[in-house]
Amino acid sequence: MDRVCHFEIPFDDKDRAEAFYQKVFGWQTTPGPGEMPYTMVFTTEVDESFTPKQPGGINGGMYPRGDEGGSKAPVVVIEVESCEQRIADVQAAGGEHVIGPVEIPNMGIYAQVKDPEANIIGLWQPLHG
């Protein structure tokens, strides 16, 4: 069974979005890796490999809302063994391939699909075992 491992929230105003989630929920934010326009969001403590210390804990990210590729609404990200295989499974079940797979250096492989109800779902394939 594949599990939910991450979430993503699009924003129109990065500073406003960060301030909202920090103030309301006490979440911590930090810039994402490299030059990606991405903010990492921590809802629970992590170890040195960014794995949540609390069982079942899920962290996420925020990115600019846009027309190209990503979603305009929050995205649930599901950890899978193979993004390529899950994309094929989604298409066979009546869904669509949206973006990816793309490798996030030293972290994993990411893709997005759309279910038959037009919801965007993220797929995450960790690079480590």
pLDDT of residue 32: 84
Q: Which residue has the tokens 């919801």?
A: 119
Q: What is the mean pLDDT of residues 36-65?
A: 89
Domains of the chain: 3-126 (3.10.180.10)
Does this model's pTM top 0.85? My answer is: yes
Contact status, residue 125 vs residue 119, Cβ threshold 8 Å: no
Confidence of residue 126 (pLDDT cuts 50, 70, 90): very high
